[in-house]
Amino acid sequence: MAKYGVIYREAGNPKPKQTIMESFGESYLRAECEGKGWEVLLIRSAENGGVMARLNRMLTGKLQLRIRLGVSTAELCMFCEVMRALYMAGVQMLQIVEMCIEEEGNPWFRKRLVVVQELLRTGDDLSTAMSDPRCVKAFPRLMRETVRIGEANGRLGDSLARLITTFKRAVETKRETISAMTYPAIAMIVFFAVGAVISMKIPPLLREIVGAKDIAKVYSQLPAAIRLLFYIYEHPACLVYPPLAAAGMVFMWRIGMKYHATRIALTRLQRRVWMIGPLLYQFALVRFLDMLSANHETGIQISDSLLLIQGTVDDALIEDSLGRIHDQIVTKGVSLSAAISSPQEADVYPGLVRQMIRAGEESGKLAEMTRPIVDFYEEQAKALLRRTMDMLTPVMIILLGAMIGPVIIGVYKTLIILSKSAAS
């Protein structure tokens, strides 16, 4: 039987409780809880921990083993999901935060939730508590504004639902992007390891079989691949240079991404990378459209929505474009469709996006018009990811053969050259 985390209320007791139970399935467990007279608020699988811990594994797809100095999008999504379930069941916000504190496995985030709890006790609302200087780093501006709008119009549950959808899509997008980058990285590590092993094993084996003196006589006649192996064997420090160069490039890339001018240039360079560039652009476009639609449904003004999206879309060219569009809307009073269709933005957004936004503004249904293109570009990005993975496998096999093949041929050529030299 599987384990489940259950949040429930007993008859006559409005305070929610939580427990871990075993059952053959969620439907059986729900029936068992209702048979005990419980009002079930939330059920989540808890095979490897509490409700919050299991939700984290469900959303991230992995166990994060790292020092926690911040909060991930997956954890924010978990928090919103539990909060919405309890809020829709009529649980007081203070009790909701208390339960989240009990289940939260991230010490850094738990401390910020404690601050939110203290502020709620003093009479502040949730959005005000989240905006406290001690908590502002834990809750992104998009989340704070969405909660504020939800509290103002009395539709906090709907606002949290849209926020959950946005966070889940962001987590999924990040997972897809990481999966696209992981395979080439692992393949390169394997290639380097194979090359290092070959360089350390082939030269001493040839010297042992043939003899160092005989090899020295015909060294200039040996194939280039074999001479390269002997050079690496005699200068093993060469094996350190590729990892250092890779680490240096990653370090310089991260430094460059912190400054506006270099970030723009690096993003342009990234767009030109075969398969990977278009893939990352597609996912960035999905994030932009998804958050634009969610913000519009929540009731956030377009100008404010653009500023919220600007810091979360994770694409320098789109972020730079959103800043220009925001300035045009605020200073010139133009519509979003007019600003996004200007010649300066033509290369940033596809024609379909510009047309659908124009149609959405003209019909007054911007969110309804953007949702289909979010799904379209998400499916397109996932299809591109699958094609990339399918193409990388044979490419990596070819590269591995191109590395090992010359070595094997070179070994045979070396033996032939040495045998001819010995005969003469």
pLDDT digits (tens, 9 = 90+) for 195-215: 788 888 888 887 777 777 777
Q: Burial level of 105, CB count in 10 A (0-12/13-18/19+)? A: middle
- pLDDT given at position 393: 73
pLDDT at residue 391, as a whole number: 78
Q: 185: pLDDT confidence band, cut at 50, 70 and 90?
A: confident
Q: Would you state the torsion angle of the CA atoms of residues 151, 153, 157, 158, taken in this order, to the nearest 10 degrees?
A: -140
Q: Which of 327, 320, 292 is nearest to 308 (CA)?
A: 292
Cα separation, 64 vs 73, in Å, equals 13
3-state secondary structure of 8: strand
Burial class (CB in 10 A: 0-12, 13-18, 19+), 224: exposed
Q: How high is the pLDDT of residue 66? A: 41
Q: What share of the chain is helix, strand, coil (3-state, %, to 5)?
A: 75, 5, 20
Cα 230 to the chain's mean position, in Å? 43
Average pLDDT of the segment spanning 146-153: 84
Q: What is the pTM of this model?
A: 0.66
**Greater confidence, 26 or 198?**
198
- In the predicted model, is pLDDT for residue 54 greater than 60? no
Q: Give the residue-averaged pLDDT of 224-252.
A: 85
pLDDT at 350: 85
CA-closest candidate to residue 381, choices 184, 185, 177: 177
Provide CB contacts within 8 A for 280, sequence distance 6+. 177, 270, 271, 315
Burial of 364 (C-beta count, 10 Å sphere; 0-12/13-18/19+): exposed
Instruction: Provide the 3-class DSSP secondary structure of residue 9.
Output: strand
pLDDT at 49: 45
Backbone angles phi, psi at 23, to 5 degrees: -160, 165
Q: In the prediction, which pLDDT does 47 show?
A: 53
| Mean pLDDT in residue range 20-44 | 74
Distances (CA, A) of 351 to 52, 342, 345, 355: 42, 12, 11, 6
Q: What pLDDT does residue 44 have? A: 67
Q: Residue 11: name the closest of 29, 28, 34, 27 by CA.
A: 34
With cut-offs at 50, 70 and 90, classify the pLDDT of residue 254. Answer: confident
**pLDDT band for position 372 (50/70/90)?**
confident
pLDDT at 332: 85
Q: Name which of 7-21, 90-104, 117-131 the model is least confident about.
A: 7-21
pLDDT tens per residue, range 306-318: 887 877 777 888 8
- Please report, rounded to a whole number, the percentage of residues in the chain having pLDDT higher than 90: 1
Lowest mean pLDDT among 51-60, 156-165, 317-326: 51-60
Strand partners, 4: 21, 45
- Between these two residues, 56 and 419, which has the higher pLDDT value? 419
pLDDT tens per residue across span 152-181 = 888 888 888 888 888 887 787 777 767 766
**Terminal Cα-to-Cα distance of the chain (whole angstroms):** 78
Sheet holding 39-45, edge to edge: 17-23, 2-9, 39-45
Q: What is the tens place of the pLDDT at every residue in 62-100?
A: 434 344 467 888 888 888 888 888 888 888 888 888 888
175, with CB counted inside 10 A (0-12, 13-18, 19+), is: middle
Q: What integer best gives the mean pLDDT of the chain? A: 79
For residue 61, pLDDT over 70 is answered with: no
Determine the average pLDDT of the residues in 109-134. Answer: 89
Does the pLDDT of residue 116 top 50, yes or no? yes
pLDDT for 288-302, tens place per residue? 888 888 778 777 788
Within 345-365, residue ranges assigned H as helices are 351-363
